[in-house]
Amino acid sequence: MLQEALLAWYEGAKRPLPWRGEKDPYRILLSEVLLQQTRVEQAVPYYRRFLERFPTLKALREASLEEVLRVWAGVGYYRRAEHLHRVSQAAETLPRSYEELKELPGLGPYTAAAVASMAFGERVAAVDGNVRRVLARLFALESPTPKALQALAQALLPEEGDPGVWNQALMELGATVCRPKRPLCPACPLGAFCQGQKAPERYPKARARAKREERLAALVLWGRKGVYLEPQKGRFQGLYGVPTFPEEELGARARAFGVEPSYVGEVRHELTHRRLFLRVYAALWEGEGVDPKAKPLPKLTEKVLRQAEAFLAHAGVVPFQDA
DNA sequence: AATGCGGGGTC
DNA sequence: GACCCAGCATT
């Protein structure tokens, strides 16, 4: 039986993770949101830090969004933090059913199913990228639709036993054995059932994606107590950063701040669908500014600030941190 | 169905 | 470089 083979394998092969066997719905929710498009190894330290600072839904509710983002800073997809914060403020406790969970901000079909099955024992299949790949190979499907995958996964879900454990077992198989590249088919507990084993890398077919270039300028205003930071809109929403804009606007921006900036270098930064290319300018500034360490910053802004700081140090300017 | 949204590991 | 990760919201 396929189900028994997978579960037996899982018991012996599962990686020890901080949220294994967790029953607290809040902690399960946090782990699942952190794991959205994020590798397990990358999520673990943030999971620990987050719980240290916000151990309960109540603690999260009583915090400001900015405090939450300060802990989230660095892991990416910052709307997840905002959604989580909104969830904490929406109700005293989390709803217990898949259908209700799916209505919460930041919870889609996968996360709602994961929480419903792991925290509340609901028999609903959680289909993430791992499960998608496992099922595509198991049934030799090149382009399965989300609907078809959900139906397949639901049909496979055992009628007895812990549905949360089952969902995790399927994902664990995808993460460690049925990997995107070089799957370990000889070690797979489902080998006897798999129709895609002859050419596993054909399933599912990869989707093409474009990566566009974006050229911008960044202006670092170096004040007495820190730098000028503004809340970011759109990209990096909720975090802070130095002003960035198309390079043609540099003159106008500099005039508006009453400074004459120097070019201090360039910064490249890659996002999933964008290649950012920033020319960085810096100037000493009459304003006070704020200490960047006190604000949640995207990695891009950290790079820009390092570039400016290196230039200014070379020019003999004492960084405000040491003032 | 397609696109935007981070950051990082891997080959 | 390209790919992709325990996805979601928006259009």
Evaluate if the CB of A31 falls below 7 Å from strand C: yes
**Is A295 a member of any domain?**
yes
Domain of A317, CATH number, reads 3.90.79.10
Along the 323 residues of chain A, how does pLDDT read in single tens digits?
999 999 999 999 999 999 999 999 999 999 999 999 999 999 999 999 999 999 999 999 999 999 999 999 999 999 999 999 999 999 899 999 999 999 999 999 999 999 999 999 999 999 999 999 999 999 999 888 899 999 999 999 999 999 999 999 999 999 999 999 999 999 999 999 999 999 998 899 876 666 677 888 999 999 999 999 998 887 888 889 999 988 888 899 999 999 999 999 888 888 777 788 889 999 999 999 999 999 999 989 988 999 899 888 887 776 665 43
pLDDT score of A4: 97
**Is A118 a member of any domain?**
yes
Q: Which of residues 104-133 of A touch strand B (CB under 7 A)?
A: none
pLDDT score of A320: 66
Instruction: Evaluate whether A197 touches A187 at the Cβ level (below 8 Å).
Output: no
Indicate if A262 and A218 belong to the same structural domain. Answer: yes
Evaluate if the CB of A150 falls below 7 Å from strand C: no
| Contacts for A115 with CB less than 8 Å, ≥ 6 apart | A25, A28, A29, A32, A94, A101, A107
Evaluate if the CB of A53 falls below 7 Å from strand B: no
Residue of least CA–C1' distance to B10: A181
Domain of A104, CATH number, reads 1.10.340.30
pLDDT score of A114: 98
**Is A274 a member of any domain?**
yes
**Of A178, A179, A176, nearest in space to A194 by CA:** A178
Evaluate if the CB of A272 falls below 7 Å from strand B: yes
Indicate if A120 and A193 belong to the same structural domain. Answer: yes
Indicate if A133 and A168 belong to the same structural domain. Answer: yes
**Is A246 a member of any domain?**
yes
Evaluate if the CB of A175 falls below 7 Å from strand C: yes
Indicate if A188 and A222 belong to the same structural domain. Answer: no
Indicate if A142 and A23 belong to the same structural domain. Answer: yes
Indicate if A112 and A246 belong to the same structural domain. Answer: no
Q: Is A286 among the residues known to form the active site?
A: no
End residue of a domain, out of A202, A223, A258: A202
pLDDT score of A319: 61
Q: Which of residues 98-137 of A touch strand C (CB under 7 A)?
A: 105-112, 114, 128-130, 133
DSSP-assigned beta bridge partners for residue A283: A221
Indicate if A309 and A185 belong to the same structural domain. Answer: no
**Is A261 a member of any domain?**
yes
Indicate if A89 and A137 belong to the same structural domain. Answer: yes
**Of A132, A124, A133, nearest in space to A154 by CA:** A124
**Is A54 a member of any domain?**
yes
**Is A207 a member of any domain?**
no
Report CA(A61)–C1'(B2) in Å, whole number.
Answer: 35
Indicate if A176 and A240 belong to the same structural domain. Answer: no
β-pairing verdict for A230-231 and A262-270: unpaired
The nt closest to A235 (CA vs C1′) is B5
Task: Show the domain range for A118.
Answer: 2-202
End residue of a domain, out of A172, A202, A232: A202
For strand B, the positions having any atom within 7 A of a protein Cβ are: 1, 3-9, 11
Which residue among A4, A11, A22, A32 is the active-site one?
Answer: A32
